[in-house]
Amino acid sequence: MNDTRHPVDLAFVHLSDIHFRKGRIGDVHDADVEIRNELERDLRRIRSRVSKLDGIIISGDIAFGGQVDEYTYARNWIESVREQLDCSADGVMVIPGNHDVDRQMVPDGGDAQKLHDEIRSAATTEERNAVIATVLRDPGKGTCLMRSIDAYNSFARDYGCEVSRERPYWERDFILRDGTMLRIRGITTTFVSGPHDHVNTHKMVYGGAQLQLLREDNVRRAVVGHHPPSWTYEGDEADRILSTMSVLQLFGHKHEQWFARLGRGVRLIAGAMHPDRTESRWLPRYSLITIRIASDRQISFRIYPRRWSDEEMMFIGDFNSAGVDYRDYSAETDPALQPVVSHPRANGAEHV
């Protein structure tokens, strides 16, 4: 049933950390086939809460080892889900995570590893940004740095979400009820991802270009990435920029779901759709996110967190102490200056 008490401008399904693993998917021994089956059934249930679905956002770790076969399976599954939910192909948005990196392309002592070390050894954020920019501007070095996600890019190209040394992020526009745009930026956090990733010793980097979120008239910004700021060298500085310049931040990686108001916006950590079953707090999760303009200076979000129930062997609503299966948040925004004329690239098309 549609939630008529809460009319929405936009609605997105947010998934993360699917981890399609070569050799463990697509046959009768696939341990996660039941989770995917129940997820699809629950998606159809939760889809009835909104009149339309504008997109499916997957915040990284689509594959497990960045292999072509993993993305072939992922594409077929995503397309099946998309069609069931009556979502346009332009509404599918993906970004790479550390499991989307082919680590065989980052051997110890190899050229890619040397570039990683050069970037990590920078003494300050400014120096690190300069090194990343220099590497990405160089055709040889930039291609070497990005080669580990070649399989991801081949898969993501179908959805307009490939990234490159020239453009390490993509952007997509969606029109809100007041005529303003929600501009979603999908960022790459895997420049220096490899076999030694660690939150203390081998962190990730965003780079300066991806954190330049310029204010524009009638544009409200959202960011989708795999690694949250705590996993990056930019850390608190990235926190400050993202919480000031965007109304919505979507991340994955941590396999635990949480959401909070930060600065002028809201941050949602997805939780994992396919967490490792050996994890002590193994619990598959995903969310439906709805967005609406509440006033000239306020945008509202309603998040419907969904979780796996061992008791019922299905996805169910994550109810809070007030007895509701959703969480409401709002963000302060600049007022709309003038109506924005709809254009053919809006609501699901890439912004160039």
Q: What are φ and ψ of residue 152, in 5° steps?
A: -60, -45
Residues 6 or more apart whose Cβ sits within 8 Å of residue 125: 233, 234, 237
Pairing of strands 298-309, 285-295: antiparallel
Q: How is residue 231 written in tokens?
A: 């996993």
Q: Specify the higher pLDDT residue, 65 or 346.
A: 65
If you average pLDDT over residues 112-119, what whole number do you get? 97
pLDDT at 287 over 60: yes
Give the model confidence (pLDDT) of 75-101 as tens digits.
999 999 999 999 999 999 999 999 999
Number of Cβ atoms within 10 Å of the Cβ of 239:
18
Report the alpha-carbon angle 351-138-166, nearest 5. 5
Q: Which of 248, 242, 236 is nearest to 12 (CA)?
A: 248
What domains can be seen in the chain, in order of their start residue?
10-350 (3.60.21.10)
Query: Can you give the pLDDT at residue 281?
Result: 80
List, in sequence order, every residue forming a beta bridge with 268; answer none if it has no partner: 250, 259
3-state secondary structure at position 216: coil
Q: What is the CA radius of gyration of the chain?
A: 20
pLDDT band at 335 (very low <50, low <70, confident <90, very high): confident
On whether the CB atoms of residues 154 and 171 are closer than 8 A, the answer is: no
What's the whole-model pTM score?
0.93
Would you say 181 and 174 are in contact if contact means Cβ atoms under 8 Å apart?
Answer: yes
- Residue 90 tokens read as 């332009």
pLDDT category, 6, cuts 50, 70, 90?
Answer: low
| CA-closest candidate to residue 302, choices 43, 11, 51, 2 | 11
Helix (H) or strand (E) holding 158: none
Per-residue pLDDT tens digits for 221-241? 999 999 999 999 999 999 999
Q: How far is CA 160 from the centre of its chain?
A: 14
Residue 264 has pLDDT above 90, yes or no: no
